[in-house]
Structure 1
């Protein structure tokens, strides 16, 4: 709370200097995206709402929450407020989108932490609001591409809005969808009442100053460019009026006070959206006033309902009769806030309602349009008065349907009701002296309309159409309150033919079924079906390229050498051997021939880094495949000649397509522009002479970080799958082993390997470290070094006499996590040089060090972790050692781990 109030003071101090304040920090300079913040009249109003209401809610939470630690709640609420503050201050569409999604995630976690009943509402809320986030992202991309800038102020000032109707209509539709999902407008309104499972402080903040206000702010922010655009105006006015009608009628049917307030929020937001859709400076100023009034009375009402629920133990108006007499302070505060929402003078809600009616009456268009809109809003305002009366009478009247006066009650602690009273009293004070808001409202309306607005608020404007409508609204509202039983009798039997929540659940279920069907296409242990889809895609690309007239002759220069043909023959022999093999061990051997031939080919072409990578991958692949062989059948399943025809045709086609791609995209030819740039500028830009390594850890470090993260996830997947698989394998014990055979004595058989490992093992580790340290200047780097280290671990594994003793006890999960963490932290250090993953340089005498080495260390750790995970888990026995065969000669006793270590 103190932090929020300090932020309020800082915001006010910054705004008091006058004009528009802008601050910009470098963020993603290569993309032209900056952390740009802008404090104008509009962002000032919303920033104050976010911070002041946030401080009130946090103060209330101290008395509302039970004793104990609630660090997760306060952390999420603080993050929620920070995300909203960033959203309303953002002057870059990328920053706006990030903050927008942050509010979505904060609301999801705050709703989900409400217990078992919060799971489904949280998911539904997330699904709906994420849809809006995708719409906002699409709008941001369209605007950035169309204008050539991501700065919101630049985008709004560009002439493209008047010149390109398609651009304007597209952005208007996308922004409308984004705002409607966030602000619970038709047809996306169902998530808001559903989210009422959250505790009262969360609901109060979400409804009064956060989440739903994000959508309203978005509409205000882009009004300078879109106000008056037919699609924008018709979309907002139509959706707003429908939402106001649905929300007000639904509120009149509710017995739960919190649900009633949720639907009232939908209704009031409908007024705001329709008002913004009118788009005139007067309409935008009226919408600003109502936004402030709504934040005050809605926060107070939600918190007051929380006090009632906290004290009485129920929110059902059928069980709350007589509570007002026993909780007079809470009743007074609630009546004050409800009267403001109902539009009763002299409260701020009356001033804002008068402004709305005036602006609707003066709406542009046909002469009859404005009065018709104003009368329609007045009808909905009658419903507003009626549900406000329903709330007050239902909660505090002694004539409620089912009074429960036997419940012993006393007034809540001041720690609870004092924060509730603050916004309610503020609504009264500002209603009496609304001129105190003239500066705020004028500044916000000026920013929202793009023209200078000088708004003067007053409680009395004389006899105007708005005043006459207000009198009629109050009169009709009193009549509905008096006849509330008859109103109930008419409304309660009414039911909508469809449910918004059911629609969300149906879409979700359909998406899950679609995903299951798509996944089922390859849900098989057959490699053939797994490979079929990418191979068919390759053939499709090749066909498209061929139809596009790809000329291979233009892209291949220079003659082939005898070495090329010799290696090609070796590869063909390996492929033929793999096709002809009948056992899996044979296939492993001949596939290894292919891999080593490709390695030699890379060396012959001068690609030392690629060749080293290929060689080490081949070595480790053979080790892992040998570990897998013991879990697979010895031979391949027999296949008929007819059944082999289609796979053979597909394989030949894929081979032709791949050959054509290699000829088209590589060959002995001049470097591309990008390759030429790397050769010329690589060392001066990064300090590294190894072009391959500088591309991986400097120029395209973000790609490498993404691949590293995927590698880490793959390592976790290996761990999960193999641990589960081992549990299943335990049900199928291996056949007994005849230990009388000569090869059964593992200790004797491993003597040569163990002897060699004593010499080669340390050298392998040393070479691994050398390759890591030299990688920026010479062939090597984190990935190659890790593969070399993995080969050393594989040698240690193979030298062990038993798979029980041979476990490599290094914490592979820790290594994987540490690798990704080190690489990410290195990226964050790049901000010291201007942006994420920017290279930092350090000179120690004549030695030039860069942060790329730290990044390579992260790669090294993660790759080593994945290799260890595979060897650790694949090499474990599936079952305990089976008993000796009856006719077998007992084998020598196996050594203990200590004996093996000594040997």
Structure 2
């Protein structure tokens, strides 16, 4: 099973190569995986029909009882045969439907085959989370397939509409799965259905949420608006996704869960009412449309309502009728869609008002369409007739709700007959007053797929008993009545046959009066799917805009006050109810007096931040609070934390200074008195509450601290540094997630600075001999042409060639030169000594970043470019790739992030060992280095360039201005940046 699913995705990845070499004939090769799946399923027929199953399991997240579990039983056998068999035929059909030069053919082919693989995984999944995974994969691939003609607005909107509706339903379903799995104690579907949890409010909520996902996937009202618009997709997509596969997923889920949850009080009302309403509304809409695909689309909506109604009733005979109807529907609706594609190809239109006499031009195509439409209309001796008879008989012997459903079914069947006849008449009949539509003949390869499916419906009509054993195996999961129904084409004269005759005659009457019916239906103002979806999105956007305008007012103090008030309300409510301070010992202020002194100085620095008016002073004082916290770590005996804190504060201080160059020197005028009167109590209350929470949280501990276990685990591995072991081994999942967040934050920050490609602001110079570098003496640059005799000799730092002498600091340059390489060596040492001493990839990356910052401060952006000529994204991406790769490497042993260690001996250095945690930590090192470099280039080098250009423009304006006119006065309150003017040029330091 697993190999078959994987083969779909592997060959889908190769689709581009196959299409490039074979053209549309590549679809024949791509049909091999679903063909193999069909053959494999056929070999398992006896196993499934006898009540057995084929299973496969792989532990995915065993701690959470989540496994990738696949299971083939009777219901899955039927769905695999339909999904894989029809999928193979549709892929063969595509070889004739598309030309070799069709646009985006490779992407379409890969997406269609990948969808087939996802659908195969969906119907075989025996785990709720696994089922959801494949469920969402079908949603994504269907979005790509519906939006195949991406240059057309209607196609893009239709794809987005389908994605939005089915994704929202899928998210609701996921919540229902989680509730159901927790209540049942397992996520295995077969176990849950065999022994469902007792009915409760939680189970009822879970059932409703799961039904939301199933109904949205199967386009059941009120979620049916997306399916008709999905006809913007090519015809093979409509035949496969919207007739045989994707839309059946919801019906399949209802059928899968019905044996265990049909007795839940909310199940039957939802399924019967919405299924019946969908059957009637879809059938009625199909009578007034003129596009053949839309007629079939609304007919599909109607049939899906019928299938959902049958699958959800919850008794044995109705379940048997549901599965045989699923089989019948796939065998008549898929060929009808395929025939529509042939007619469109041959005649150039799908408008039944313009089609006339096509049946004579395409007699074999017409014969296939008549067979399929007759099965849809439930005419003997086709499979559709046997399925409809089974449905009528099951509803006849039910309760009052079933008899109500029977009336709806008869009315819906009448509409089905009417639009089935209308489809055949509109596509192939000769119409008075309309010229015969020219249509070219089609090859047998084009006609074979729909012909095979239609003939299967013809053969299985008299031979429906051959599938009785398989289908009844599923149906017998429900309580078996005293006289169970058996599938057969002819059960003699009875009420079910009479109802079939009534539906057939009624449909014929509706078709005969089609003009009156069409006029009547068009008088009713039916809301179109586009209108409904557009209004929903517009209302959602307006609501979100109003909420955003009310909440997001651009006031940072307002946001902080809101956050603090919410925290206060929550914490005070918990404290007031639980009163956890009872029995708690008095808080210990410090262990040693030095802690109190450091804490007092740190608090004093924080309070002084509130009194200063200059931004630079505030930044320095804020930095002192960070350094004070680091000192507390030192006093408490946490050198790892202290080292990291000091490095973070150093980098943060530099970044603050770089940003302040583009901001006023002073803060804005002080806030009003009444604002202070509001803010101060909120701040004091938040501080007091959080202090109390910290105290009572420590005093109310009931479990033993995890520290002892961490220390023991570290010693077990022969290591000494507990913190590093936690970060790269014991809690490596957290580190991996935080690394990804750090990379995303860096991308967000730099994206606010860069308006063009990052290479534009990298500061790399174009070295052309004899050409003057882009610089002006007034901007702090030398202005000497590179390669001239007057150019300075190459110095330790690039500042000698880029900065004017009066703006250089020789001492700083010498110190930077002397410290840079030792800093890098120190960072490498901190990286590799982390197992037994303070260090690690994070702090090592920060130390290396400090080295680069030193080079930048000493020599400016050109010096930074020479110190780190590679793009920051390379470091960041390589770091993420390395840490993620090491994490996935553990899968070879069955566990993500499993640590591997290699022991060896070097001739001179003696024994050594190398573990994958070191490689993981090296990935973190590269990522942090890339983030620091990215931020420095964005907030340093990029802003330098902006300042230099502004200064150059100002100097050029002053030179061209008439004498006696003064240039524009500089704006007060701005701090000069490096190279901004002669008096402010030079290095950023």
TM-score by length of 1: 0.91
- Matches of residues 247-646 of structure 1 in structure 2 within 5 Å? 247-363=282-398, 365-366=399-400, 370-399=402-431, 403-405=434-436, 407-447=437-477, 456-496=486-526, 498-499=527-528, 501-520=530-549, 527-547=556-576, 548-551=578-581, 553-554=584-585, 556-557=587-588, 559-640=590-671, 642=673, 643-646=675-678
Instruction: Determine the C-alpha separation between the residues in 2 that align with 1:267 and 1:687.
Output: 68
Structure 2 partner of 1:865: 930
Instruction: Determine the C-alpha separation between the residues in 1 that align with 2:481 and 2:553.
Output: 64
Structure 1 partner of 2:858: 799
Change in 2 beyond 3 A, CA 1:179/1:663: same
Instruction: Determine the C-alpha separation between the residues in 2 that align with 1:120 and 1:776.
Output: 55
Instruction: Determine the C-alpha separation between the residues in 1 that align with 2:714 and 2:112.
Output: 46
Structure 1 partner of 2:846: 787
Could you list the runs of 5+ residues in structure 1 that have no partner in the other structure? Answer: 895-899
Mean alpha-carbon deviation: is it higher for 46-55 or for 583-592?
A: 583-592
Structure 2 partner of 1:897: none
Alignment deviations for residues 503-548 of structure 1 (CA, whole Å, 9 cap, x no partner): 4433333333444445446756654344333333333344234424
Check conservation: 2:750, 2:938, Cα contact below 8 A. yes
Mean alpha-carbon deviation: is it higher for 771-780 or for 660-669?
A: 660-669
Check conservation: 1:442, 1:453, Cα contact below 8 A. no
Of 884, 888, 908, the match for 1:828: 888
Cα displacement (A) at 1:267 = 0.7
Alignment deviations for residues 408-431 of structure 1 (CA, whole Å, 9 cap, x no partner): 321223332222211111111111
Instruction: Determine the C-alpha separation between the residues in 1 that align with 2:72 and 2:757.
Output: 60
Change in 2 beyond 3 A, CA 1:142/1:804: same
The total of aligned residue pairs comes to 876
Instruction: Determine the C-alpha separation between the residues in 1 that align with 2:679 and 2:230.
Output: 53
Check conservation: 2:83, 2:116, Cα contact below 8 A. yes
SS at structure 2 position matched to 1:27: strand
- Matches of residues 635-784 of structure 1 in structure 2 within 5 Å? 635-640=666-671, 642=673, 643-665=675-697, 672-684=704-716, 688-724=719-755, 745=804, 749-784=808-843
The reply on whether 1:7 has 2:33 as its aligned counterpart is: no
Check conservation: 2:80, 2:123, Cα contact below 8 A. yes
Structure 1 partner of 2:77: 44
Cα displacement (A) at 1:830 = 2.3
Cα displacement (A) at 1:641 = 5.2
Of 244, 255, 266, the match for 1:220: 255
Structure 1 partner of 2:173: 136
Of 154, 157, 172, the match for 2:191: 154
Check conservation: 1:441, 1:455, Cα contact below 8 A. no
Check conservation: 1:57, 1:205, Cα contact below 8 A. yes
For CA contacts below 8 A with separation 6 or more, give which structure has more relative contact order.
1
Change in 2 beyond 3 A, CA 1:156/1:304: same
Change in 2 beyond 3 A, CA 1:688/1:242: farther
SS at structure 2 position matched to 1:580: coil
Change in 2 beyond 3 A, CA 1:80/1:568: same
Instruction: Determine the C-alpha separation between the residues in 1 that align with 2:615 and 2:483.
Output: 81
Instruction: Determine the C-alpha separation between the residues in 1 that align with 2:377 and 2:827.
Output: 75
Cα displacement (A) at 1:324 = 1.6
Mean alpha-carbon deviation: is it higher for 575-584 or for 692-701?
A: 692-701
Change in 2 beyond 3 A, CA 1:373/1:573: closer
Alignment deviations for residues 748-784 of structure 1 (CA, whole Å, 9 cap, x no partner): 6332222122222112112212222233443222211
Check conservation: 1:279, 1:449, Cα contact below 8 A. no
Change in 2 beyond 3 A, CA 1:736/1:388: farther
Check conservation: 1:687, 1:848, Cα contact below 8 A. no
Cα displacement (A) at 1:663 = 3.4
Structure 2 partner of 1:109: 144
Change in 2 beyond 3 A, CA 1:849/1:487: same
Alignment deviations for residues 283-337 of structure 1 (CA, whole Å, 9 cap, x no partner): 1011100000101111111111111122222211111111221122221111111
Cα displacement (A) at 1:747 = 6.9
Alignment deviations for residues 550-597 of structure 1 (CA, whole Å, 9 cap, x no partner): 429537458542211210222123123322221111112222222111
Instruction: Determine the C-alpha separation between the residues in 2 that align with 1:344 and 1:34.
Output: 46
Alignment deviations for residues 315-373 of structure 1 (CA, whole Å, 9 cap, x no partner): 1111111122112222111111111111111111111111111111122x24xx65554
Instruction: Determine the C-alpha separation between the residues in 1 that align with 2:875 and 2:662.
Output: 27
Check conservation: 2:316, 2:477, Cα contact below 8 A. no
Mean alpha-carbon deviation: is it higher for 667-676 or for 236-245?
A: 667-676
Change in 2 beyond 3 A, CA 1:796/1:858: same
Check conservation: 2:608, 2:621, Cα contact below 8 A. yes
Change in 2 beyond 3 A, CA 1:693/1:203: farther
Cα displacement (A) at 1:614 = 0.7
Instruction: Determine the C-alpha separation between the residues in 2 that align with 1:659 and 1:790.
Output: 35
Check conservation: 2:179, 2:203, Cα contact below 8 A. no
Cα displacement (A) at 1:602 = 0.8
Instruction: Determine the C-alpha separation between the residues in 1 that align with 2:454 and 2:463.
Output: 15
Check conservation: 2:347, 2:440, Cα contact below 8 A. no
Check conservation: 1:715, 1:865, Cα contact below 8 A. no
Structure 1 partner of 2:27: none
Check conservation: 1:248, 1:383, Cα contact below 8 A. yes
Check conservation: 1:22, 1:37, Cα contact below 8 A. yes
Instruction: Determine the C-alpha separation between the residues in 2 that align with 1:454 and 1:853.
Output: 66
Mean alpha-carbon deviation: is it higher for 767-776 or for 842-851?
A: 842-851
Cα displacement (A) at 1:224 = 1.2
Over the aligned positions, Cα root-mean-square deviation in angstroms equals 3.2
Instruction: Determine the C-alpha separation between the residues in 2 that align with 1:379 and 1:48.
Output: 31
Mean alpha-carbon deviation: is it higher for 181-190 or for 718-727?
A: 718-727
TM-score by length of 2: 0.83
Instruction: Determine the C-alpha separation between the residues in 1 that align with 2:490 and 2:334.
Output: 26
